[in-house]
Every structure is written in structure tokens, then in C-alpha cells.
Structure 1
Amino acid sequence: MHQLNSTSLRLFVASTTLGLSLPVFALNSAEIIASSISTDCLDYGVVGICFWLYCTTFGCDVEQSPKVRHYVPDAVVSSYANTGENPWSEVRKLSAPNSKATSGGDGSAGIAAENDLAKFKNADVIGHPGGAIFSQFAGQSGYGCKGAGQILMPYLLSTLDSLAWRHNIPEKVFPEALTLGMREIGSRPQSNLWGAIYPRGGFLHGVDDHKCAAVVAQRAADIVTRRGQVHVYQPLLANSQQGYWPAGEVKENAPQTGKWQELFPRQSKTCTTFPNNETHEQSPRGDYAWALWRPYTCCERKGQTFLGSTGGEQ
């Protein structure tokens, strides 16, 4: 596993967001920030009680605080056909074409009979820019949990991961990639199969461009929410602390591990998982973006020592 240089990349992102003219058909940071105010995606609830030992020079008492659980928009995951054309306009320079990652698009003309031809999508996973606004919004419901995502942090840029993303090396020989029915979004028996998670690269087969882009977004999220993967990326994970239980690995077909909010080509105020029965708008440029919301559980610290809690960790 190779890790991106976090400090230099964050500085580069910050510098590129200044003074850019925005294309007409593009997603911008202001729209992404506004989208984070969603009660449906937040899904706030009190799930238990935390107990703390609070001590002073006069003795010790056991204090309580509510244990809450809600989702946090950790990252924006973009899935797009043309290299260098992330629909999120302010961060496009991060994933510009390079000597090992040029061109893009797919081998299909969009005709149903040509579903044996391959599509290709780049993918970027970048820290959600809504931090402060979202924290204020979540705080209106009570105590809020901090997510793992850092604002504008590039967690995965497929242009820097070309060996794995464009050549499926080494994942094309992994059991998950060779075994039919293993790690798939949807299922064949239920007639809602969207695609396979492995190999976790940019190529796949399908006639519905929106669904193909969603599969690639799920692959990117699968990578960054795990440690030690054979990709060039930064793990999008936080460490457990007293009274804080962060989100873990994102798993397909499992909303309790993560949910998706569509940002582009249309913005949604609700969250869902793949597959779903929603009306899927096709982007004429083959570019899509979603916010990845993940569940966190926490309680306000009320003492020096955490004694335990009720309600389970998640």
C-alpha cells in the first residue's frame, strides 16, 4: 500500500479552489456544502447512555451523557468518464491526466445490444467540504459526532493509482474477482444486479451509465474505508476513543455501513444505497458524484474515565 502525502495534497487543493471560473454544467463546493443539511441522511438518534467517572479533590461521582448515533458526510466520491474532468469543478486539477493516466470514456455507443463492451470511469474520493456547516446542523439535534473525513483531503485519485485502476493488477486474480456472485451490488436472483466490486478498478460492463458510475463509486469507497489495500490512497478511517465509536468498512448492500446522497447530475436531499429503484438521470458527459455518509456513535465526555455504556456500539 502507498499513501498520499496528506499535507502537500491538502495545501494544493486549497490553492486550486481560489479564483476559478465554474463551468456551467458542473458541481461546485457551495452546492455540496448546502447538500449536507439533510435530516434524512443525518438519521440522528439517541441509542443509549454513557457513564463517566468524574473526580475532584472532594471525591468522585458517576456522571451520565446521552449516547447518540448519526451519519456524517465524510467524502465526495466522483465517478467520471473523461480523465481530468471531475464534475466537482474546484478540485479538477488534482486529477489531471498524466503519463500513466490519459484519455477515458468507454467502448460502448450506449446501445443495449453492445452491453459486452467495456466502460471506463475514473474515481476521486475527496473530503467533504461541508464540515463547519454540517457540525452546526447536527448540533441542533443534540451532541454531534465527528467524522473521519478531513475537508478537501484527497483520499483516492485514480490517476495516481493507474496500475491497479487501469490494469486491475493484482486484483484481477483475487478470489473475489474470479468467483461469480461474490462481492456484488444487488443480486441475480432478485434481478437487481448492478455489478461486481472486484476487481476494484475503472473498467466494467453495462449499458446503464449511471449504474456503472455507482458501481465504480462503491469500489472507491470500498478501498478507502479499509487499511492495507493494494492501491495508492489514504485510509478514510478514525480511531476509537473513550465514548467514540467511528465508522468502519463500507460494505455493498448494507446501509448500516454507509449511504449515498446523489450530488450530480442532480442533487438529492435523501440518502440511499445501491442498488435502488430511483429514477436515474444519465449524465451526457458520463460524470457523476455522490456524498458518502457513514455512521458514527459517540457521547459527550462528562468525566476523566469512561466506565461503559448501554445501547451497543453501533
Structure 2
Amino acid sequence: MRLKPAVFSILVTLSLSVGGVRADTITTDQVITRTTAAFFNCADYQVVGVCFWLYCTWTGCAIRTSAKVAHYNPELTMQTYRNAQEPPWTETRQFLALTQSDYDGSLVSTILSTMGSGLDELGGGGGSENKAASHSNMTFTLTDSFGNPVMFASSVASMSGYVCDPKLTPMYPYYISNLDTVSWRFGIPEMFYPESLNPFGSLLGSNSYNWGGYYPRIGHVTNHDEIKESGLIAFRSGHFITRRNQDHIYTSIYQNDSEGWWAPDPLTVSSGRWQQLAPKADTSCRTFPLSADMGPSDGLQSRRSDDGAHVWNLWRQYKCCQDRGSFLYDVEW
């Protein structure tokens, strides 16, 4: 199911304030600055092959070649948070209110009322014993995914033929968890998938060190470590956003290959790279789970926010060639 474009254009207006913000909030200009600061480390630009093109004019035809390049693009900026009234990305708050996906949104209130849930549960956080899907060892986290604003520059740079345009819309809301309340909060039908019934079949990590199972792809987790919970929630949403025809309300970013342009495969544990934007600003990318030291201090403390709000970039690899005629074939080494 696709989330139709609404009034997301209001988000394109950037905040240029330079005042300080709390560690658990971020502005659009900071998203741009921190994404750009990590570009050379995260993009991992490579020449991976050569493309062959047929170029014809009235005088005849010739075979032309161009380099096939590969690099990672910052596709989505994802925020995870427990307080529905204060998403960490400050410019998204107005949009969430306009789409009635904030704490007081009448659409979400109606859904929760129909499902027999009180509005006071919308904010996330710790669980309680009063609902079958809300046990005391569970927490509930909200998440939203927007097209990374730096893609404005990617579209322009792609005209050179040596930068692969991800063909996504900057600032577009590809996923809003509060508009996906039935699936994200109540796990319908995610809870009944075969993958969800096997607790060891979809671990984000290895058997010896992982952040939990990414099925069922819902907002409830039993991991009470803020950074691990946030990473798992971001991965769960990214897992279905990069696929088509999943049982959620979202806009898929899955794309088919075209001549001289190759889109990434759907997200897996090893294929996506993650950059934390808040509360810590990374200048490099890693796969989940982030490595941790053993002992009382695991080395991840600076990554944990005071209120459970975190912001991440998802980077995935694209491949492309400069268009030099009619595409024939490519060779990759």
C-alpha cells in the first residue's frame, strides 16, 4: 500500500537557525551538514566496470564506452522516538500535525478507539499489563522515514554521468508509523508471519551478538537499551520500505533497473549502511549492529539520547554509467 503525496512540500523549507539544540533534537540544516560531512567516508565511490553504448548519426554508427561506477547514497533519514509530541527532527513536527499523525491526530485517535486502545498509549514508551500486546517488558517506539534532503544535490550531480541519482524525492514522507497504526502498533498481520514465529530466524546480528529479531516488523520491542532499540526499529521499517507489497501503509523505495542504472536490492543485514545523526553525529557509516565493548561501559553511551529519540541515515549502493547512446551491455569486474 502506498502513502499518497500530501502536503509534504512544506518540509522543503529549511531551518537555518544556528542556535544550540538539545542532544536529542536535530534541524534540517544539521541533517544536511552532517550527511555531507560523512559523504566521502560513506559513499565508498568505486569504478566497478565498463558500459558499452551504440551511438549513431547520419554518417554511421560507433561503439562508445563509459565507466561503470558504484557508490552509496543517503536515501532515507529516519527518526525513532517515544514521545509522539516531540519527534527529534524539529521541522517534521508541523508536517506530522497536518497529516493528523501526531499525538492529538483525530485519524489516529479513531483507529486506536476502534481497536480498543486508549489515546494515552499513542506516545509510546514503556508497556503496561492492561493489553495483550502491551506487556511490562515491552517498549513501543514510533518511527518516520523521509527522503534525505541532500538528494537535491545528487540529482544535479548525476548530470555528469559519474554520480548515480537515487531517483527519490527529498523530504518526502515515505513512512509515518502513526499512519500505519494497525500494523505498527497491533502487529496485524505481522504477528502471524512464519518469520515472526521463529525468534532466531531474523536476528539483526549474529547468534553471539545481536540487537534482536527484526520480525515481526512492529514498534514493540523487548530490548531496553535505547540505542539497540532505535537501531532495530529503524531497520524494521527500512526492511519493508525497500520492498514492494508489504502489509504496511508506506511508499516503497524499491526500483527496477534501467539502461545504464542499477538500483540496490531490498535491505538486508549486510547490504545497508547506517549513519547516526543524533544524538551523536557520525562521519562514517556502519552496518547494524554497531560493535560494542564487553563490560560495564560498552562504548555506545554517547549514542544514547536522554529520551529515546534518535536519528539515522540509511545509505545503499547504486551503480550507473554515463549515457553515451543506446545501451548495449556492461561488464563488471
TM-score, structure 2 normalization: 0.83
Quote the Cα distance in structure 1 between the aligned partners of 2:136 and 2:318: 40
Contact 2:155 2:167 survives alignment (8 Å): no
SS in 1 for 2:91: helix
- The residue that corresponds to 2:261 in the other structure is 244
- The residue that corresponds to 2:329 in the other structure is 308
- The residue that corresponds to 2:162 in the other structure is 143
SS in 1 for 2:73: strand
Matched, 1:124 2:144: yes
- The residue that corresponds to 2:125 in the other structure is 105
* Corresponding residue to 2:279 among 265, 276, 281: 265
Q: Quick one: which amino acid aligns to residue 28 of structure 1? A: T
Matched, 1:58 2:59: yes
* Corresponding residue to 2:174 among 139, 145, 155: 155
- The residue that corresponds to 1:174 in the other structure is 193
Contact 2:204 2:288 survives alignment (8 Å): yes
* Corresponding residue to 1:195 among 187, 208, 212: 212
Matched, 1:96 2:117: no
Q: Quick one: which amino acid aligns to residue 121 of structure 1? A: T
Q: Quick one: which amino acid aligns to residue 96 of structure 1? A: D
Matched, 1:295 2:292: no
- The residue that corresponds to 1:10 in the other structure is 8
Q: Gaps (5+ residues) in structure 1? A: 109-114
- The residue that corresponds to 2:33 in the other structure is 34
- The residue that corresponds to 2:291 in the other structure is 277
Deviation at 1:18, TM superposition (A): 6.8
- The residue that corresponds to 2:71 in the other structure is 70
Deviation at 1:105, TM superposition (A): 1.2
Quote the Cα distance in structure 2 between the aligned partners of 1:269 and 1:21: 20
- The residue that corresponds to 1:164 in the other structure is 183
Quote the Cα distance in structure 1 between the aligned partners of 2:81 and 2:308: 6
Q: Gaps (5+ residues) in structure 2? A: 113-118, 129-134, 293-298
Matched, 1:24 2:44: no
Quote the Cα distance in structure 1 between the aligned partners of 2:85 and 2:65: 51
Contact 1:9 1:154 survives alignment (8 Å): no
Cα RMSD between the aligned structures? 2.5
Quote the Cα distance in structure 2 between the aligned partners of 1:36 and 1:213: 19
Deviation at 1:210, TM superposition (A): 0.7
Structure 1 runs of 4+ with >4 Å offset: 17-23, 134-140
Q: CA deviation digits over 1:7-36, x for unaligned, max 9?
A: x24234347x67999882220111111122
Contact 2:204 2:212 survives alignment (8 Å): yes
Quote the Cα distance in structure 2 between the aligned partners of 1:168 and 1:132: 35
- The residue that corresponds to 1:84 in the other structure is 85
Contact 1:116 1:206 survives alignment (8 Å): no
Quote the Cα distance in structure 1 between the aligned partners of 2:204 and 2:246: 20
Quote the Cα distance in structure 2 between the aligned partners of 1:13 and 1:132: 13
Quote the Cα distance in structure 1 between the aligned partners of 2:156 and 2:220: 39
Q: CA deviation digits over 1:194-223, x for unaligned, max 9?
A: 111111110001131110110000001001
Identity of aligned residues (%): 34
Quote the Cα distance in structure 2 between the aligned partners of 1:138 and 1:262: 25
Contact 1:186 1:275 survives alignment (8 Å): yes
- The residue that corresponds to 1:215 in the other structure is 232
The size of the alignment, in residue pairs, is 296
SS in 1 for 2:125: coil
